Amino acid sequence: MNSFQYVSPRTVDGATTEVADGGRFLAGGIDILGEMKEYIVQPHRLVNVKELPGTRDLVRGKQWKIGANITVAELENDPELKRIFPGLQQAAAEVGSPQIRNVATLGGNLAQHSRCWYYRHRDIRCLKKQGSTCYAREGENKYHSLFSGNPCISPVVSNLAIALAVLDAKVIARRGKDEVALTIPEFYAKAWDNPAAHNSLGPTDLIVRVEIPDNGRKSAYQQISEKASFDWALVSCAAAAKVSGRKLSQARIALGAISPVPHQVTAAHELLEGKELDDTLASRASDLILKDATPFAQNGYKVPIADALIRRTLRQLVV
């Protein structure tokens, strides 16, 4: 790791000013410090944002406001959040190990960079590092995307993003002097089009909080991993809907670890609207969500896993 400056501004304005010209924000440090140790990135300045005003607040109500520096463990262990947004609590509980969850933050989990082993290799200059080749396409692609809008097939790996996508959450980020509100699809949209992007944040954009409407929908999250704990998802799935008996309305489904963005298909949401959930309907929704999947040599196994997760997660809403 190369030498760097370390600063702890007291305001969001100060943080966005200090990070300009090649600096990086530091919160939990799980991602950025790993990249620095591997010489993937070498910022000349780390800007500590852990104690910025308001970023540790958790405001409950019809519109929950969760500060970007709330830890994943706090999301996992908050009893009211578990009652109102069980899918988000389930997603938080799957992040890393208890030790990681005690340090990792909401903002960091959303903004983390690719876990692709070609990107993470210090000596490989892939598309995400401004190179000319996605080596995963013809190489080791076991953990990569089934859907992509650009030549890079590195998928989004944030558990929380998948759960937040179906809850119609918005990421509030400081951009210049203004706050901008990004839906989860908007937050990752740039990664769909631009192989070098991990999300839609600019270098000085700072997540300050996430807002989630409490609109009475049930939610659920499930994932399949190679190990029972402390492992990345092979495929993850979140679902949310208003439920009356077995009838669904305002249904949403999102898949993770299969696309550079949380994968959602509007036609599947429309299919579920106002209908009573049964195995046939869940299978039809799954078919719509997965019909355009393009597996590579080593990741075709993700299709049946995704199909099973969609049906299981939908069923969890009506039990």
Domain with CATH 3.30.390.50 in the chain: 218-317
| Encoded tokens for 169 | 């959450």
Q: Does domain 58-112+154-213 have CATH number 3.30.465.10?
A: yes
Can you give the length of the chain in residues? Answer: 319
Domain with CATH 3.30.43 in the chain: 1-47
Residue 226: its pLDDT value, please? 95
Residue 25: its pLDDT value, please? 98
1-47: CATH topology = 3.30.43
User: Residue 141: what residue type?
Assistant: N
All residue ranges of the chain with pLDDT < 70 are none
H or E stretch including 47?
Answer: strand 45-48
Domain with CATH 3.30.465.10 in the chain: 58-112+154-213
295-300, long-range: CB < 8 A, 24+ apart: 295/146, 296/136, 296/137, 296/141, 296/144, 296/153, 297/141, 298/140, 298/141, 298/142, 299/141, 299/142, 299/143, 299/144, 299/145, 299/146
User: How would CATH label the architecture of 218-317?
Assistant: 2-Layer Sandwich (3.30)
pTM, full prediction? 0.96
Give pLDDT tens digits for 234-280.
999 999 999 999 999 999 999 999 999 999 999 999 999 999 999 99
Residue 274: its pLDDT value, please? 98
| Encoded tokens for 210 | 């996430």
170 burial via Cβ count (<10 Å: 0-12, 13-18, 19+):
buried
H or E stretch including 10?
Answer: none
Backbone φ and ψ for 287, nearest 5 degrees, come out as -60, -40
| Encoded tokens for 301 | 């196994």
For Cα atoms 299, 287, 193, give the angle at the middle one, nearest 5 degrees. Answer: 60
